[in-house]
Structure 1
Amino acid sequence: MLFMVIEHFDQGRVKDVYARFAERGRMAPDGLRYVDSWVAADLSRCFQVMECDDVTLLQQWVLAWDDLVRFEIVPLASSKATAAALSGKT
C-alpha cells in the first residue's frame, strides 16, 4: 500500500534532519520502500511517498525520526483504482 508521508520540520532543526540523513540514511526498516519525495520551497515540509504492506513498519520508521520531525501519514489509493471503486467496477 502507498502512503503520503508529510514530514513537518521545525525551521531551527532542518540542518539537523539533513545531517542525520547524510550520516545514517533514511533508516527505513526492511519492507518499507521509499518511492519519491519533494521538499517545500520554504523547507517547512517534506512530502514522501512510501510503500509497505505492514503499517507497523511506518511506525518503526517514525520512531527513528520523531525527535526531529513531526509526521502526518495518509494512506493513498490511485485515481484509477478510486474511479473503478466508485463506478462499481473493482
Structure 2
Amino acid sequence: MSKIQKFIKKDIKRHPELKKEYEQVDLNLDVAVSVRQMREDLGMTQKEFARYVGKPQSTIGRIEAGLMNVSIGLLNEIANAAHRQVKLVLV
C-alpha cells in the first residue's frame, strides 16, 4: 500500500464523510488517465484531440487533469468520436 493510500484510509477512518469524495477523485483520475492515453495513442495534442472529438479543449484539459466529474454519456461521446468503446465493469 502506498503512502497516499495509507493516508486516505486513515483520513476516512477519522472522517467517514470524506469517503464519497475520495471515491469520486479516484474515479476522476481513472478517467483522466484513460482519456489522456487514448489521445496519446492517437498522437494528438489536447487541442487536436478536442477538435477531433468535437469538444472544447478546456473540457479535455479538465478531464485529463482529473478536475471534472465526467458522465458516462460524455465519456461515451468522446469514445465514439475517437472510434472507441466504453466498457463499464462493476466489481
The normalised TM-score by structure 1 is: 0.32
Higher RCO (CA-CA < 8 Å; seq separation 6+): 1
The normalised TM-score by structure 2 is: 0.31
Q: Decide which structure has greater helix share.
A: 2
Q: Decide which structure has greater strand share.
A: 1
